[in-house]
Homo-oligomer: A and B are copies of this chain.
Amino acid sequence: MTYRQFTRQAKLTQEDFCLEMLAAHRDEVKAKKERTAVKNLELIFQATLKVSNQKGFQAMTMRDLSKASGLSIGALYDYFSGKEALLEMIQGAGRRITRRVMRQAVSGGDTPSEKLASVIRAHIYLSEAMQPWFFFSYMEARHLGKVEKQRAVEGELATERHIAEVIKQGKREGVFADVDHMLTASVIKGMLQDWYLKRGKYAKRRVSVERYAEFVVNMALGYCLNGLEPIGAGEPENE
C-alpha cells in the first residue's frame, strides 16, 4: 500500500482529529454550535502543537497559545479548563485514533510476512499523517498525570504487542525463524519511532515515507525469515 492510498482510506485530517476531541468533551466546551467549536478547536490544536513542539508544552504559556491561535486567553478557557486538561484532551484523541487504525492494520494481510509488513507500514504512514501529534505525544508523555500516563504507556505497549503477536504467529507456522519475538518487536518499534522523532533529518536527506517503510519492512522480514546468528559465520575471527 502506498501512502496516498493509506491517507485516502483513513480519516486523519485535522478536522477529524478535532471532531474526536469534541465528541469526548462535548459538555466541557462552552461553544454550543458544532461549527464554531470545531473551528476554534482546530486553531487551538494547531497552535498547541506548533508552539509545544518548538519549546515544550510546559514552557508554552497561555499568552503564547493566545497569540499563536488568534483567540484571547479568556476564550481559550471556554474550550478547556487549564493546560493539563488541554494536554489530556489532545493525547486522548490521538490515542483513540491510533488504536483504531492499528487494530485495522493487524487484520490486513493473510500470511505472517504480509501481516508484519502491514503493521509496519500502517504505523509509519499513520505517524507521517499525524507527525506533529506523534512527536508531541512522545515528548510530553511524562508530563501527564498518573492515570493518563498509564494509558499512554499502555498504548505504546499495544503497538509492540501487535508486532510481537504477528512474529509469534509466524514462528508457530514455521515461516519465521526462532527469533526472540519480544526483543525483535522492541527494536522494530524503535525504528518506527525514529521516523516521527527525526523527521527533519529524513526530510533533509530526501528519504520518502515509502522508502523508509520499505526499508524497515525489509530489515524486519529479513531478520524474521532468516534469523541469523551471523557472528563468526561471515568472516573468520582473527587469531
Contact = CB atoms under 8 A, between A and B. Distances in A.
Interface of A: 54-56, 58-59, 110-114, 117, 139, 142-143, 175, 180, 182-184, 186-187, 189-191, 193-194, 198, 201-202, 205, 207, 211-212, 215-219, 221-223, 225-226, 228-231, 233-235, 238
B223 A222 contact: yes
A56 B55 contact: no
A222 B226 contact: yes
B205 A194 contact: no
A127 to B, nearest CB: 13
A230 B222 contact: yes
Contact of A207 (B183, B191, B212, B231): B183
Given A190-B193, A193-B190, A235-B113, A226 B225 contact: no
Nearest to A216: B187
A83 to B, nearest CB: 12
B212 A218 contact: no
| Copies in the assembly, this chain | 2
A234 B175 contact: yes
The 4 closest A-B pairs by CB, nearest first: A190-B194, A222-B228, A225-B234, A58-B58
A interface SS class: helix
A32 B223 CA distance: 57
B234 A215 contact: no
A58 B59 CA distance: 7
Contacts of A218: 228-231
Contacts of A211: 183
Contacts of A175: 234-235
Given A56-B58, A225-B234, A235-B175, A191 B187 contact: yes
Given A58-B59, A59-B143, A234-B113, A223 B221 contact: no
A55 B143 contact: yes
A238 B194 contact: no
Given A139-B139, A183-B207, A225-B233, 6 more contacts: A117-B231, A186-B198, A186-B202, A187-B191, A221-B230, A226-B228
Given A58-B59, A194-B190, A180 B228 contact: no
